Amino acid sequence: MSDPSYTDIAQRLERLTELSVELSTNHDIPLLLEKILKAAKGITHADGGTLYRASDDKQRLCFNISINDTLGMYQGGASGHTIDIPDIPLVNVDGSKNLSAVAAYAANTGTSVNIQDVYKVDLFNFSGMRRFDERYNYHSQSFLTVPMTDHEGEVIGVLQLINAKDPATGHTRAFSDTDQRFIEALASQAAIAITNQQLILLLENLFESFVKLINIGIDEKSPHTGRHCEHVPELTMMLADAVHDADSGPLASFRMTPGDRKQLWIAGLLHDCGKITTPVHVVEKATKLEALFDRIHLVDARFEVLKRDAEIRALKAKLAAGNDTKRHEEINRGLSAELARLDDDREFLRFANIGSEAMSPEAQARVTEIARYRWTGPDGFERDLLSEDEIANLTIRAGTLNAQEREIINNHIAVTIRMLESLPWPKHLQAVPEYAGGHHERMDGKGYPRGLRGDQMSVQARMMAIADIFEALTAKDRPYKKGKTLSESLEILGGFCERSHIDPDLFDIFVRKKVYLQYAERFMDPSQIDEVDESRIPGYVP
């Protein structure tokens, strides 16, 4: 027949081993704390137990979980019942350590306290315990209080067990030396596990803060781009949630774990990090002629010179005509017509300078025609009204960027990929470069920088492509365009779908689940949110 004491110890060791495994695999700190307290109670056969957490400023012990089997009491933790017990100060009013409360004593000294009968000991202030006993008609007797210290010796909490029970009789007994050693071992392991989880959370928060720091740097260069970096991940996650919830269609099997969501969120925050290398004058180019300043003002000045020269020619012609009134009237009419034409041409160039979604070939030809007007510069030499560079910029077909600037701006995604691929990503974040680097690729393989087809990209990268386009369409803070209305944006996005730019299955969910409206209500100006007739959206079948 085996010795009962050895059997009991073996069972305790098994329980402690099981908890050790749980501590190393479970990343939910509140759940870990609950398992720690329940395991401590089970190992010592304690009737009650309390787990305290040290406050962030290490000035108080905060009740985290409190359990008492006899009273059927369960507060804090996963119980959903708020703990109505006040915190225990670790420091007295005069700044000295609080050594009168047993839990505070254990925390401040780093030593365990094992009391056989609290009513026979006057070393500590047990007035709170006595009030508890009177209130609930309970009798507290044996106490075991053990500090939980981390790898640096800093107390992160305290375990307190009440009334150890004899398994055979059910009578209250003192906590044995074996009980104490087991709980000290458990508290040590628990403290290390909790500290590890806290360090992981701190590192993750630090990493995300660094990510946001990059976006702050981009925001300082361009507040317009900065908001784009904030909004794209939000819209990406909205679409990801909608796809995750889909129970039919080609994407019905797509699911995301919390870790997958975290990875996609980080990728969204970093999707334009390469823009930190893009010159400000390119990012902020609000008009076609803008460089360090808007050169349309130079063109305005040249028109003034042309008008001045026209007036001088008219005056000279009048002098040559002498007192011929009829000739003077003819000269005046010609001058008025020429000035009107110059004013009209100048207004046309001002409008062309603003940029649009599509400049017609006729408008481009008119720019070239106006460019050939001759004017005399400050150096006395006659030249064309517009330089070749000015012609090239003013005839940009769409937007405000010329071919060289477009290449510079497009290079940001190549820089993004190089930056992200150079980092030693942990296993759970290894897809970040692919997710972030694919939002300018197209389903038909004609995107950039790698020319990937839809089947070569992850669903997450294809989601971000939709989010990136839709955010850009609706944004009203861009220096070069006005924000589109909701219906206009969906019509344009639908056109992208029809032309195989974006994933049609994702676009279907984007519209069907009204992801666009969810985003609009959070981030778009109310004046942009108009009525949407989904039956008129290109590429979508209601």
Tens digit of each residue's pLDDT (9 = 90 or more) over 282-297: 877 888 888 888 899 9
Q: Among 420, 169, 508, which Cα is nearest to 516's? A: 508
For the chain, first and last CA: distance in Å? 76
Query: In this structure, what are the phi and psi dihedrals at residue 115, rounded to the nearest 5 degrees?
Result: -115, 130
Separation of alpha carbons 480 and 286, rounded Å = 4
**What is the reported pLDDT for 336?**
95
Separation of alpha carbons 356 and 366, rounded Å = 16
Residues 500-536 as b or e (16 or more Cβ within 10 Å = b): bbbbbbbbbbbbebebbebbbeeebeeebbeebeeee
491 contacts 537 by C-beta, under 8 angstroms: yes
Residue 418 contacts by C-beta under 8 Å, 6 or more apart in sequence? 274
**What is the reported pLDDT for 3?**
43
**What is the reported pLDDT for 9?**
63
Report the SS3 class of residue 524.
Answer: coil
CA distances from 318 to 309, 321, 327, 338, 340 (A): 14, 5, 8, 16, 20
Per-residue pLDDT of the chain (542 residues; tens, 9 = 90+): 344 455 566 666 666 566 666 666 666 777 778 888 888 898 899 999 999 999 988 899 998 889 999 999 988 877 777 777 788 999 999 999 999 999 999 999 999 999 999 999 888 988 888 999 999 999 999 999 999 988 788 888 999 999 999 988 989 999 999 899 988 988 888 888 778 778 878 888 888 888 888 878 777 777 666 588 889 999 999 999 999 999 999 999 999 999 999 999 999 999 998 888 888 888 778 888 888 888 999 999 999 999 999 999 999 999 998 888 999 999 999 999 999 999 999 999 999 998 766 789 999 999 999 999 999 988 989 999 999 999 999 999 888 888 898 898 889 999 999 999 999 998 989 999 999 999 999 999 999 999 999 999 999 999 999 999 999 999 887 766 678 999 999 999 999 999 999 999 999 999 999 999 999 999 999 999 999 999 999 999 88
Q: Among 263, 321, 289, 215, which Cα is nearest to 461's? A: 263
Separation of alpha carbons 427 and 412, rounded Å = 26
CB atoms under 10 Å from CB of 145, counted, come to: 27
Which tokens go with 167?
């398994």
User: How do beta strands 88-89 and 143-149 pair?
Assistant: unpaired
Query: In this structure, what are the phi and psi dihedrals at residue 309, rounded to the nearest 5 degrees?
Result: -65, -35
Per residue, the 3-state secondary structure of 369-413, as one string, reads HHHCCEEECCCCCEEECCCHHHHHHHCCCCCCCCHHHHHHHHHHH
**What is the reported pLDDT for 388?**
95
Give the Cα-Cα-Cα angle 457, 404, 408 (nearest 5 degrees).
50
**What is the reported pLDDT for 245?**
95
CB atoms under 10 Å from CB of 305, counted, come to: 15
**What is the reported pLDDT for 529?**
94
Query: In this structure, what are the phi and psi dihedrals at residue 51, rounded to the nearest 5 degrees?
Result: -115, 125
Q: What's the pTM value of the predicted model, to 2 decimals?
A: 0.71
Q: Where are the beta strands (DSSP E) in 178-230?
A: none
Dihedral angle sign, alpha carbons of residues 485, 488, 491, 495: negative
**What is the reported pLDDT for 465?**
96
